[in-house]
Amino acid sequence: ELGSYKHFMEKEIFEQRKAIENAIRGRLSDDQSTAVLNGLNITANELRSIDRILLCACGTAWHACLVAEYLIERYARIPVEVEYASEFRYRNPPLDKNTLVFVISQSGETIDTLEALRESKRKGFKTLAITNVVGSTIARESDGGLYQYSGKEIGVASTKAFTSQIIIMLLVALYLGRMRDLSFADGKEIVSAIKALPDLIDETLKQADVVRKIAKKYSKFPDFLFLGRLEEYPIALEGALKLKEISYIHAEGYPAAEMKHGPIALVCPECPAVIFANQGEIFQKVISNAKEIGARKGPVILITDSPDEIESGLADDVIAIPKAHDAVRTIIDTIPIQLLAYYIAVERGCDVDKPRNLAKSVTVE
């Protein structure tokens, strides 16, 4: 089953084009510049009356919820809250009656996510799910939802399921947005960005050799920081989680500007920072954050869509990624951090597909 790959994680990283194609197949309408989402089991009227959205999940799926928060708030202008499923089930937060609950779970069997779903159903909320495993408990018990169709994910570290969850939440944001104030032209731009994504994924994967060399250089370092702003902050969290899980290196993800409020104390020659610096309104701000790290002798690894605009001496290493529309950029950002964690773990001789102490799905509390 592995073919020419050494591990399932590697294979699954390289399967992301296919996984994204599967997730969007038949779910885009050019005529209406929107998404076609069969399976939600919820009427247009019900959807229009939603005032809030609550997203619940664990681990990597929780990071997908954080990205979704940005996407839904930006394109559909509906306030979103994100909760760890394990907290939600005991926290008993007050919920507005027009709240739509979404849970995300690759396996569809994570106990905390399942219990969060049951708790919100018990309270009378419409509860939808995004799952990958067809017929899983969460898929069966939710009121409706969307399958990811990512194909089986065997590696314990989630990769292709994560990027598929993001694209599906973008489809949801587009759909809800087009029912509200998102214009036909803006919807059309997002539809085109989604269609362009598979080729951009291929282009990004071509950086694998560059990332492998960087991984070799840093594989013995004891600590890493991952920094990003706006929706790249959750990708920084995901980068840190991937590295921790499979290579057992301590890593932290932070919004880049938050660094000055504490984590900058960690910066030293043994603590590299992986920073997302892509074109957009905050490009120069992130560059200043990178300079602050360099000034304290922290190695800087930049993931950027504008390598020509990076002044020499600013970064120790650069991973160039293609320019992508804001709506889909987090998916492109994710690929280098997955590859980095993977190659570092391989370099350290770790059991990549079955990291210590972890299970693919956490079915007991």
Task: Name 227's bridge partners.
Answer: 254, 275
Site string for ligand M6R, 48-77 (x = CB under 6 A): ----------xxxx----------------
Cβ atoms of 287 and 276 within 8 Å: the answer is no
Interface positions, 218-277, toward ligand M6R (CB under 6 A): 245
Q: Could you count the other beta carbons within 10 Å of the beta carbon of residue 181?
A: 10
Question: Total residues contacting ligand M6R (rule CB under 6 A)?
Answer: 16
> Among all residues, which ones are annotated catalytic?
360
Look up residue 180 and give its amino acid: R
156 near ligand M6R, rule: CB under 6 A: yes
List the alpha helices (DSSP H) in the chain: 8-14, 16-24, 44-48, 59-75, 85-91, 111-122, 137-141, 160-179, 184-205, 208-218, 232-247, 283-295, 329-347
Q: Which is nearer to ligand M6R, 105 or 207 (CB)?
A: 105
Helix (H) or strand (E) holding 273: strand 273-277
Q: Which is nearer to ligand M6R, 107 or 207 (CB)?
A: 107
Candidates 156-164, 217-225, 252-260, 337-345: pick the segment binding ligand M6R (CB under 6 A). 156-164
The Cα 199–Cα 293 span in angstroms is 33
The Cα 310–Cα 294 span in angstroms is 13
Rg of the chain in Å (alpha carbons): 20
120 near ligand M6R, rule: CB under 6 A: no
Cβ at position 264, least distance to ligand M6R in Å:
27
Of 66, 116, 157, 176, the one binding ligand M6R (CB under 6 A) is: 157
Site string for ligand M6R, 293-322 (x = CB under 6 A): ------------------------------
3-class DSSP state of 326 = coil
Cβ at position 218, least distance to ligand M6R in Å:
20
- For ligand M6R, the nearest residue by Cβ is 59
Cβ at position 15, least distance to ligand M6R in Å:
15
Cβ at position 316, least distance to ligand M6R in Å:
27
Look up residue 317 and give its amino acid: D
The Cα 78–Cα 177 span in angstroms is 9
Cα 349 off chain centre by: 26
Cβ at position 104, least distance to ligand M6R in Å:
7
115 near ligand M6R, rule: CB under 6 A: no
The Cα 304–Cα 248 span in angstroms is 26
Interface positions, 91-110, toward ligand M6R (CB under 6 A): 105-107, 110
The Cα 283–Cα 323 span in angstroms is 13
Closest by CA position to 72, among listed 128, 118, 153: 128
3-class DSSP state of 310 = coil
Interface positions, 345-364, toward ligand M6R (CB under 6 A): 358, 361-362
Site string for ligand M6R, 174-213 (x = CB under 6 A): ----------------------------------------
Cβ at position 344, least distance to ligand M6R in Å:
15
Q: Which residues bind ligand M6R (CB under 6 A)?
A: 58-61, 105-107, 110, 113, 156-158, 245, 358, 361-362
